[in-house]
A and B are shown apart, each in its own frame.
Chain A
């Protein structure tokens, strides 16, 4: 029985690294016991109890790292300590190597990174498919952020992925959560019991942020790309994801977020949902969706309701839909803002960074206000407008609105000068990868637009929602406060914000419809 020590004086490695070292040493061949602890008196006593207190360990100080192994043989002990040494310096080396000798291909990356299991691909579209194919062939799961991948390539890639039992999230997948890791543009949310399959990035962000606000978290959130449920792709990744979540003990409930599937695909998807053996909340937003419960399937018509239904189901509570979180308060605020409008101010202008958020707003506004124009394919002949500022033709040659507020600020200014506009409706999306201060980026434009309106005898109402959590880098509370100080009425969800906008612009009858239909 051999006991050997490695002391690293005044050596600081973070706890994750230290625990990893200890764990790995203990698993080594011929190793009976191992410890990697700071040399404090309390830890020296622990080592003594475990028969690991060598003379060197006893002489160590609280800021020294003590690595001790008890092994069957000299060789095993030597090997273990050499391994410890390399693990402890690996992190430092990785930081240096990252700046010096970065791999230039997927293959050389795999040689440097043992056990790589996910490729996150965001190269330009024409090349993305080839990179994704390479990754799948090498047994990596793939998150394909790139758009501009052909439908034909998508079908082939997903067939390959399904054959190999791998994920192909995308194309155009901007958000996912795997094993608690937020990927792409994602909010900081806790780990929890809800599994999600999403054909939409900001849709997923809205749902998980509201789940987090309700104290729940995400087990896995798999992005499938916006075209997965079309006929040619046949929901290939959706079905595979549902199978995975169905068999995952960490997932107690599944939420599906997207648009209604192609008719030929619908039956297959629904059948899989029903046989999952877990409750399913279906938030496939479209014009003819009827909410309600059918066995284990709960269909909702908004992202907010998806989160609320999930929370209720997990808490074994009944789920009720509400127009607003605080109905009386909302009614009062709507009335205040409506009374302040000048004659002729009748329109809602929505300026969105999130495509699905824009679409959800459209679906809410249409039945209340009539036709709505903008770039989502609605009617042109309408004073109301919803613009998805992240749409392809608007982002050519410029950064996406989640990162850069220039285009949105311009549109806000334009709305401020337009005498028809009663309400400006905006979304602010937080999370990793998004701008450092999205609220601060549009606040000056919002203030200026309101001032401009006031100077011309009008009042411009600004209604907003913030998709995010307090754990996000930008901080939900801070972002809400910033918007409020710029004169915005900030509601808890995109759906509520859209309803508030409709109430302000649409008049008393609309408000009655909203508040009267509070509990369905």
Chain B
């Protein structure tokens, strides 16, 4: 069973979704980070986005 502790000791490989400055800081520290040019999904409607995300769950991934 996977545990939080499994993360300890691994190289962090970060996906940054949101403020670009966070990714810039991590990159300047030599941390592997990829910044996502995030745009609001579902045309900017939070309620639609939430419903889409729930559909996502049902994939069982």
State if A and B touch, Cβ cutoff 8 Å. yes
User: A-side interface residues toward B, CB under 8 Å?
Assistant: 16, 98, 102-106, 108-110, 112-124, 126-127, 129-131, 133-135, 137-141, 145-146, 164-167, 178-179, 181-184, 220, 240-241, 243-244, 247-248, 250, 432-433
Number of A-B contacts (CB under 8 A): 155
In the complex, what distance in Å separates the CA atom of A248 from the CA atom of B5?
A: 7
Contact yes or no, B56 A137, CB < 8 A = yes
| Contact residues in A for B10 (Cβ distance below 8 Å) | 117, 179
A112-B4 CB under 8 A given contacts A104-B39, A106-B15: no
A520 CB to closest chain B CB (Å) equals 36
Contact yes or no, A117 B34, CB < 8 A = no
In the complex, what distance in Å separates the CA atom of A248 from the CA atom of B9?
A: 10
Give 10 CB contacts A-B under 8 Å.
Answer: A104-B36, A104-B38, A109-B36, A122-B22, A123-B18, A131-B17, A141-B4, A182-B25, A220-B8, A250-B8
A63 CB to closest chain B CB (Å) equals 22
**Contact check: which of A16, A123, A126, A244 meets B38 at CB < 8 Å?**
A123
In the complex, what distance in Å separates the CA atom of A138 from the CA atom of B23?
A: 20
| Contact residues in A for B16 (Cβ distance below 8 Å) | 119-120, 122
Contact yes or no, B53 A133, CB < 8 A = yes
Contact yes or no, A179 B11, CB < 8 A = yes
In the complex, what distance in Å separates the CA atom of A109 from the CA atom of B27?
A: 16
**Contact check: which of A112, A127, A167 meets B40 at CB < 8 Å?**
A127
B2 CB to closest chain A CB (Å) equals 4
Contact yes or no, B19 A116, CB < 8 A = no
Contact yes or no, A243 B41, CB < 8 A = no
4 tightest A-B contacts by CB?
Answer: A122-B18, A126-B46, A165-B2, A130-B53
Q: B17-61 interface mask toward A, CB cutoff 8 Å, 1 = contact, 0 = none? A: 111011101110111101111111100001001101100110001
Contact yes or no, A120 B14, CB < 8 A = yes
Contact yes or no, A119 B15, CB < 8 A = yes
Contact yes or no, A116 B13, CB < 8 A = yes
A136 CB to closest chain B CB (Å) equals 10
Give the interface SS of chain A, mostly helix, strand, loop or mixed: mixed
Contact yes or no, A433 B3, CB < 8 A = no
In the complex, what distance in Å separates the CA atom of A207 from the CA atom of B57?
A: 39
Contact yes or no, A118 B13, CB < 8 A = yes
**Contact check: which of B3, B15, B18, B21 meets A110 at CB < 8 Å?**
B15
| Contact residues in B for A243 (Cβ distance below 8 Å) | 3-5
In the complex, what distance in Å separates the CA atom of A181 from the CA atom of B33?
A: 12
User: Given contacts A98-B35, A104-B39, A127-B40, could you give 7 more A-B pairs where the C-beta distance is less than 8 Å?
Assistant: A105-B41, A116-B15, A117-B12, A124-B40, A135-B15, A220-B8, A247-B5
A16-B15 CB under 8 A given contacts A133-B53, A244-B4: no
Complex: chain A residue closest to B27, CB-CB: A98
Contact yes or no, A179 B7, CB < 8 A = yes
B43 CB to closest chain A CB (Å) equals 12
| Contact residues in A for B22 (Cβ distance below 8 Å) | 120, 122, 145, 183-184, 433
In the complex, what distance in Å separates the CA atom of A119 from the CA atom of B52?
A: 19
In the complex, what distance in Å separates the CA atom of A182 from the CA atom of B30?
A: 11
| Contact residues in A for B23 (Cβ distance below 8 Å) | 120
| Contact residues in A for B27 (Cβ distance below 8 Å) | 98
Complex: chain B residue closest to A120, CB-CB: B16
Contact yes or no, B53 A134, CB < 8 A = yes
| Contact residues in A for B40 (Cβ distance below 8 Å) | 123-124, 127
Contact yes or no, A120 B15, CB < 8 A = yes
| Contact residues in B for A241 (Cβ distance below 8 Å) | 4
| Contact residues in A for B29 (Cβ distance below 8 Å) | 181-182, 432
| Contact residues in B for A140 (Cβ distance below 8 Å) | 15
In the complex, what distance in Å separates the CA atom of A443 from the CA atom of B59?
A: 56
Contact yes or no, A102 B35, CB < 8 A = yes
In the complex, what distance in Å separates the CA atom of A160 from the CA atom of B22?
A: 25
In the complex, what distance in Å separates the CA atom of A494 from the CA atom of B14?
A: 32
In the complex, what distance in Å separates the CA atom of A138 from the CA atom of B2?
A: 13
**Contact check: which of A181, A244, A432 meets B12 at CB < 8 Å?**
A181
**Contact check: which of A120, A137, A179, A433 meets B18 at CB < 8 Å?**
A120
In the complex, what distance in Å separates the CA atom of A122 from the CA atom of B26?
A: 15
In the complex, what distance in Å separates the CA atom of A139 from the CA atom of B15?
A: 12
A240-B4 CB under 8 A given contacts A129-B50, A130-B50: yes
**Contact check: which of B18, B35, B37, B41 meets A121 at CB < 8 Å?**
B18
A118-B2 CB under 8 A given contacts A126-B46, A138-B61: no
| Contact residues in B for A103 (Cβ distance below 8 Å) | 34, 36-37
